[in-house]
Chains A and B, each alone.
Chain A
Amino acid sequence: MEILVTYLTRRQKGGVSRRSEERSAETVHFGRSTNAEVYLADPRIRFEHAVIHQRPGGLFVEVEKLSDVRVNGQPTRSRPVVIGDVIGIGPFDVTLAEPPEGKDLAIEVELVRPLGDDYAQLAKRSTVRLVDHGLSRRLWSWFGILIVLAMFLVMPVLFYSQHTETTAEKTVGARFDSVWDSGPISTPHRFISDQCNLCHQKPFVQVLDGACLSCHAPITNHFDVVKAEIASIPQFKDLTANTCNGCHREHNGDQAITINKESFCTDCHSEIEKNLPGANIKNVGKFDQKHPEFRPNIVSDAATRTFRRVTRDDPAALVENSGLKFPHELHLKKEGIRGPKGKETLDCNGCHQLPKGAASFDPIGMEGTCERCHQLVFDPRRPDRTLPHGQADNAQMLIREFYSDYGLRGGMNDAQDPAQETDRRRPGENTAIPSQRQTDPRAWADQQAQRVADQSFGKTMCGKCHEVSSGPGNGPLNWAVVPAIVNKNWLPRGRFDHSAHSDMLKCDSCHAAENSKKATDVLLPKIAVCQNCHGGESASNKVPSTCITCHDFHLPGTPRMGEVKAHGNRQADEAAVLQGDMPLPGKN
């Protein structure tokens, strides 16, 4: 079988170039094999792709296994073909043309589906720039800024505009303004920490005093603002113009809600003697350098109940006239002191009781303390009968009534009457007639009562501890006792917590009681004793202590803070908020 194979190539500019080859074979092989009669150079073509046989019935196409062949578009494995058929072999179209003279078969081959441009395809498959993924810095930037503004600005503002409650409530659902929370609220205020608008009542206005005073209405001022001499202090206006948040700041957790700088106080108090001469307040500077010595408030006269303040470092003036005679030294003797059941050694706590956690000791008094040893028994025959303490007149009446009753019931002739032995008439002392020969019970009772009263009040009982006086008109039996004043607070303007110190200090660390021989001694330590442990506000080797460690700003007895009207342009805001006189949280 003579075959003419023509390879057609279409030019880019149009037209077709033809290259013909002549073959002679019984079977026409199509494939990539160089032995193939029709050589198809393309990787998509199999080595032996298909064959065409000459059979008695005509031409037959046979397709090799796995190969892809279409005859006139119909996939086939084996079928007859005739002149004019187009056989699709891979990317080639093979046309059976009319054979020219002398040829049995004419085959035209054209690559109709070329592989294409490798580079273009590679470029198409490859993504080599990030921007090709639709990434856009601009788009993401808009997204970022808008989502943040929506969540953290618009939502909270909308939330604020919808919530105007003025009382503490249990909050339900999300509080969108909580994202504005600038820090933890202090523990006492935490119960309203969910409700920002309880304190932040007006946007872009600092927290108004009305918000604070709606709960803290009774809080008092630092001074009496209506006093003219105070109003003339240069700093006065600053202080009255100040609002609560001038000194108190929230959202710092439990660390600090109150301004604690020494300078806040010393701005005024470093020159207070000049600015407020009549106030009897000393200039003060830094605690560790310029704090004045303590000036305890001591009893100057117990009889008239008058006090005065004297400086701690003036021993001549430091005399507490409490009306008591009490030597600490005697009671604290290491070898002991006679008690109701023999010798015993006392310590401070034997008399001074500090309730657990209390700042101050219980007031000390006869009852429950002194009376354990100092019993007011006036007649040894009747130790169950005692004089009432603190009632001098009553006690004298009791003595007289006791002996009147005793005499009436025959006591005059009591052989055990101790008076019988002690009854001596000394010149000028007692005009009464010796008793045992008396037969008048009244005279006997009067004489007995006076004798016992003179002993008890004068020496053995009352006079032992108290300042006493005798003479006509002083009392039923001519005796009077000066009411004692036990000073409860030497430092009325300061705070001292004994409990806070008792863990690490002993009493005699500060109070020199063991050497105190007189009740007039003031056992308050000097401030230098405090300064052993306490330094100024920025002390690093001592306990940092600032003014408000010991002193209060809001002093008792001064007008309420709410009565001081704010100055300046805050007044209008304040008035607007205070108009409704906000109720206390939790109450409507």
Chain B
Amino acid sequence: MHQSILVFRGFRYLKWAAAIVALALLLYWIHEPDYGVPNGGTWLGYALGGFGAFLILWLMWFGIRKRRYGAGGAPVEDWLSAHIYLGLALIIIGTLHTGFQFGWNVHTLAYVLMLLVILSGVFGLFVYMRVPELMTNNRRGMTLVQMMHEISDLDAECREAALTLGDEINQIVLSAAQNTRIGGGVIRQLSGDDPDCATRDANRAVRHLADNAPPGQAEGFRALLGLLARKEELLARARRDVRYKSLLDIWLYVHVPLSFALLGALIAHIVAVYFYW
């Protein structure tokens, strides 16, 4: 039976992460820095920084581990669950490591990048928890390709239905078929909508023309409008599907590159600290 990655193995990795965070907080609480100011240069600062750096490398290793399908050891579900909880724990570890000293420097850059990576991960987690169900409900057993085939079929039907109607209607129907797009740019894919949807425009225009249509064409108009409405509904679903898919993908375009930027900042941070010891 499917089990959420969050409750995986009875919150085993949540407990681990909570224990690590509790230990870090306890140490920070009882630690009396030599100079009265908590900072990354005390023994606790070095310890938290070292552990934090190790965590970052280990969390990044997940990107490699998840592709090694045949790899032994813990299943990838364990890795993902631990990745999530230990990644969240890193917020506390990293913050305590800073000693709440921030500035316009590589050290704070690394910290901010770390937070952005974690934040994008939290977004990804939220999306992965929420979107698949919405996606399934939206698809109603169809794939996007099937939807698009059906939309194309509707285009043909619309054209046929329009043949008996006026020239303007035919132009509109043709345009609806030829100019309707699904998805598009990144923003449009994420929005799940197309404000310039040719089919919507066509539907509106045809409905307007239908009001003034000669009585003999009423049947033809009704058929056409029915088809256009069905097409529009299908298009909305297809676009929502694109939106869901892009939501599932987009955060990784932030999460992964920022992770590597963080790796660079982490290297620069560590070298800088020892270069100007």
Contact = CB atoms under 8 A, between A and B. Distances in A.
B136 interface: no
B183 to A, nearest CB: 4
A123 B104 CA distance: 48
A157 B275 contact: yes
A522 to B, nearest CB: 35
Given A137-B253, A179-B105, A260 B36 contact: yes
Contact of B261 (A43, A118, A147, A260): A147
A257 B41 CA distance: 13
B6 to A, nearest CB: 25
B268 A152 contact: yes
A207 B274 CA distance: 11
B252 interface: yes
Interface stretch (A128-136, A383-391, A473-481, A558-566): A128-136
Given A122-B152, A153-B268, A182-B105, A204 B274 contact: yes
Interface string B254-277: 001111110111011101111111
A538 interface: yes
Given A43-B170, A149-B268, A258-B35, A181 B275 contact: no
Contacts of A253: 37
A260 B35 contact: yes
A265 to B, nearest CB: 12
Interface string A135-158: 101001111111111001100110
A130 B186 contact: yes
A118 B152 contact: yes
Interface string B61-81: 000000000000000000000
B233 interface: no
Contacts of A258: 35
A152 B257 contact: no
A196 B276 contact: yes
Interface in B131-173: 144, 148-149, 151-153, 155-156, 159, 162-164, 166-167, 170-171, 173
Give the size range of A's interface with the partner: 35 or more
Nearest to A202: B277
Contact of B163 (A43, A128, A156, A257): A43
B55 interface: no
B180 interface: yes
Given A130-B189, A137-B252, A204-B274, A182 B40 contact: yes
A177 B34 CA distance: 27
Contacts of B105: 178-182
Given A128-B182, A128-B183, A144 B40 contact: no
Contacts of A183: 39, 101, 103
Interface in B154-210: 155-156, 159, 162-164, 166-167, 170-171, 173-174, 177-186, 189
Given A126-B148, A135-B253, A152 B109 contact: yes
Interface string A273-305: 000000000000000000000000000000000
Contacts of B151: 122
Contacts of B271: 153
Contact of B276 (A47, A125, A177, A261): A177
Given A119-B149, A180-B105, A145 B260 contact: yes
B174 A43 contact: yes
Contact of A118 (B177, B189, B273): B177
Contacts of B180: 122, 125
Give the size range of B's interface with the partner: 35 or more
A160 interface: yes
B144 A44 contact: no
A259 B273 contact: no
A32 interface: yes
B107 interface: yes
Interface in B214-260: 238, 242, 245-246, 249-250, 252-253, 256-260
A145 B144 contact: no
B272 A153 contact: yes
A471 interface: no
B152 A119 contact: yes
A145 B37 CA distance: 32
A147 to B, nearest CB: 7
A181 B103 contact: yes
A47 to B, nearest CB: 5
Interface in B58-116: 101, 103-107, 109, 113
A177 B167 CA distance: 72
A257 B109 contact: no
Interface in A366-393: none
Contact of A204 (B183, B249, B277): B277
Interface in A173-188: 177-184
A256 interface: yes
A9 interface: no
Nearest to B171: A43
B184 A127 contact: yes
A156 B267 CA distance: 13
Interface in A446-494: none
B148 A123 contact: yes
Nearest to B109: A152
Contact of A538 (B32, B113, B149, B185): B32
Contact of B275 (A128, A143, A178, A180): A180
B174 A200 contact: no
Contacts of A117: 152
Best-surrounded residue of A41, A66, A184, A252 (most CB of chain B within 10 A): A252
Nearest to A118: B152
B35 A184 contact: no
Contacts of B104: 179
B227 to A, nearest CB: 13
B257 to A, nearest CB: 4
Nearest to A144: B261
Nearest to A148: B264
Contacts of B101: 182-183, 252
Contacts of B273: 182
Contacts of B246: 129-130
B253 A140 contact: yes
A249 interface: yes
29 contacts: A43-B159, A118-B156, A121-B152, A123-B148, A126-B182, A128-B238, A128-B245, A129-B246, A129-B249, A137-B252, A137-B256, A141-B259, A148-B265, A152-B106, A152-B265, A152-B268, A152-B269, A152-B272, A179-B104, A179-B106, A182-B41, A182-B103, A183-B101, A200-B276, A206-B277, A252-B35, A255-B37, A259-B35, A260-B35
Q: Which 3 A-B pairs have the closest CB atoms?
A: A144-B261, A148-B264, A118-B152
Given A41-B163, A181-B105, A256-B35, 12 more contacts: A43-B159, A118-B177, A129-B246, A145-B261, A149-B268, A153-B268, A160-B275, A179-B106, A180-B272, A182-B39, A182-B101, A204-B274
